[in-house]
């Protein structure tokens, strides 16, 4: 029962107590735990990891270059959506694989190598001469590099002295990249830069990678490991992991559809380029704000409650975007969806960390994160296909609403299941 009590502490204790549990001076054995060595990330490493995440977040600005892709390769909306779908799958595969390389791609040095590879793939994307070549370079290559950076930086944040704060902040840095690079690339594309607009991501990514290679190691200290929930998590908590996985998958679909096709969605409603760029900025800011908000919300509410709130917000945004004929209102709905998605994107790893501990966050979350890959493969591609067949995004919004409502109901059932479980009484 010690593992169950420790897991209950992570999920049910007041936020102030949960924060104290991550401090290095917590008394060992106070909740049946033991002291283990852990390398704390330095402020320099956190800053560099955030810079890598910011550049990798350019993936979220993808929809800004859709006109350039269609112009260069005469591709359809379905093919454009497929690029983002491939990127999400490669991203997810990398998130799963990097923590299992035996430490060869771990830490700042690993992040530096992965970032440099990502910059190279972006350069290849700029000079692609065919759609398949671009799909491989950007969709697979940069998508995988972005995922590798994501999990490395998340692990660095999990090793901060305040992981309850730094994990959402690090995830928000990824969304902030989309807020900056998406509108910037859209304006560059409109100015005639075409695929060369991707250099806006490649240059800062390469610079951050070079700095990461020289960022050095972390100081080692002892912290308390709160029980054995993580060690036995896959054996003893498979149902809970499966529920979190499914909620993450369904709750991410609407947000990923918006991130992958936002420019196309608003421009089919008659939005001019400047309004489209402004909406892309709003979407990225909403996404980032949602991610940052988790760091504040976790001080006030239980981690599992955040997901239900997030999916409810997404549902409201879908209704606004789906039913509004005005492109500005459609954009407003997409911003609301992005904000709710940001809450999901930070809330799920926060919940995972609460269940399994910051010291195992990277490895355990890499399994849960595969749900995001499934959603990323399905949502943008299927939405683009439905648009090509129907001429609008009505059916795509219906799909997004169905997935979101399912995620909302499952999150409520999950919260009830945790509250009613014998392990948590």
| DSSP single-letter state for residue 136 | I
Sequence-ordered list of residues with C-beta below 8 angstroms from that of 267, at least 6 positions apart, any chain: 276, 327
C-alpha separations of 136 from 31, 85, 141 in Å: 50, 12, 6
Comparing 405 with 300, the larger pLDDT belongs to: 405
pLDDT of residue 80: 80
pLDDT of residue 248: 92
CB-side neighbour CA atoms (13 Å) of 336: 19
Residue 376 has pLDDT above 70, yes or no: yes
Bridge partners (DSSP) listed for residue 34: 225
| DSSP single-letter state for residue 336 | H
Comparing 280 with 361, the larger pLDDT belongs to: 280
pLDDT of residue 157: 86
Three-state SS at 12: helix
Q: For 77-109, write each residue's pLDDT tens digit.
A: 778 878 887 898 899 889 888 887 766 777 788
Q: pTM of the predicted model, to two decimals?
A: 0.70
pLDDT of residue 29: 34
| DSSP single-letter state for residue 285 | H
Yes or no: say if 355 and 7 are a contact pair by the CB < 8 Å rule.
yes
Comparing 286 with 216, the larger pLDDT belongs to: 286
pLDDT of residue 89: 84
Range 360-365 average pLDDT: 69
Round to whole Å and give the CA distance between 316 and 404: 10
Round to whole Å and give the CA distance between 21 and 353: 12
Round to whole Å and give the CA distance between 226 and 195: 49
Yes or no: say if 167 and 303 are a contact pair by the CB < 8 Å rule.
no
Identify the residue whose tokens are 């945004």. 317
| DSSP single-letter state for residue 260 | H
Percent of the chain predicted with pLDDT > 70: 80
Percent of the chain predicted with pLDDT > 90: 32
- DSSP structure string for 170-222: HHHHHHHHHHHHHHHHHHHHHTT-GGGGGHHHHHHHHHHHHHHHTS---EEEE
Round to whole Å and give the CA distance between 380 and 385: 9
CATH number corresponding to 2-424: 1.20.1250.20
The confidence band for 244, taking pLDDT boundaries of 50, 70 and 90, is confident
Q: For 33-71, write each residue's pLDDT tens digit.
A: 444 445 677 888 899 999 999 999 999 788 789 889 989
Instruction: Report residue 422 as tokens.
Output: 């014998």
Over 348-384, what HEC string results?
HHHHHHHHHCHHHHHHHHHHHCHHHHHHHHHHHHHHH
pLDDT of residue 277: 79
For 284, other C-beta atoms within 10 Å of its C-beta total 27
Instruction: Report residue 48 as tokens.
Output: 């560099």
Three-state SS at 298: coil
Range 23-27 average pLDDT: 35
Round to whole Å and give the CA distance between 163 and 161: 6
Q: Is 211 exposed, middle or buried (0-12, 13-18, 19+ CB in 10 A)?
A: middle
């Amino acid at each position: 029962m010690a593992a169950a009590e420790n897991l209950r502490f992570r999920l049910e204790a007041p936020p102030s107590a949960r924060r104290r549990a991550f401090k290095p001076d917590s008394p060992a054995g106070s909740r049946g735990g033991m002291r283990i060595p852990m390398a704390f990330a330095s402020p320099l490493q956190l800053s560099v990891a955030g810079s890598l995440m910011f550049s990798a977040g350019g993936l979220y600005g993808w929809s800004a270059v859709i006109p350039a892709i269609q112009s260069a390769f005469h591709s359809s909306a379905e093919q454009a959506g497929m690029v983002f779908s491939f990127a999400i799958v490669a991203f997810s595969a990398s998130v799963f694989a990097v923590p299992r390389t035996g430490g060869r791609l771990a830490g700042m040095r690993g992040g530096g190598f992965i970032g440099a590879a990502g910059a190279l793939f972006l350069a290849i994307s700029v000079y692609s001469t065919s759609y398949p070549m671009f799909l491989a370079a950007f969709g697979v290559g940069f998508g995988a590099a972005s995922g590798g950076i994501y999990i490395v930086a998340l692990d660095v944040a999990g090793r901060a002295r305040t992981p309850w704060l730094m994990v959402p902040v690090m995830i928000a840095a990824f969304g902030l990249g989309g807020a900056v690079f998406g509108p910037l690339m859209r304006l560059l594309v409109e100015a005639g830069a075409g695929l060369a607009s991707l250099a806006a991501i490649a240059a800062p990514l390469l610079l951050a990678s070079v700095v990461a290679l020289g960022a050095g190691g972390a100081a080692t200290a002892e912290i308390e490991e709160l029980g054995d929930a993580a060690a036995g998590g896959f054996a003893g908590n498979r149902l809970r992991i499966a529920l979190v996985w499914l909620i993450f998958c369904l709750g991410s679909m609407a947000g990923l559809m918006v991130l992958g096709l936002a420019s196309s969605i608003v421009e089919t409603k008659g939005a001019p380029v400047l309004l489209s760029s402004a909406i892309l900025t709003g979407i990225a800011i909403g996404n980032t704000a949602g991610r940052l908000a988790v760091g504040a919300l976790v001080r006030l509410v239980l981690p599992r409650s955040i997901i239900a709130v997030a999916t409810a917000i997404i549902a409201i945004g879908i209704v606004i975007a789906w039913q509004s004929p005005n492109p500005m209102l459609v954009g407003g709905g997409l911003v609301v969806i992005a904000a709710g998605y940001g809450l999901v994107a930070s809330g799920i790893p926060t919940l995972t960390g609460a269940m399994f501990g910051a010291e195992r966050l990277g490895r355990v979350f890499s399994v849960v994160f595969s749900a995001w890959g499934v959603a990323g493969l399905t949502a943008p591609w299927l939405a683009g296909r439905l648009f090509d067949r129907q001429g609008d995004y009505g059916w795509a919004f219906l799909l997004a609403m169905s997935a979101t409502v399912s995620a909302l109901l499952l999150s409520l059932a999950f919260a009830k299941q945790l509250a009613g479980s014998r392990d948590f009484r």
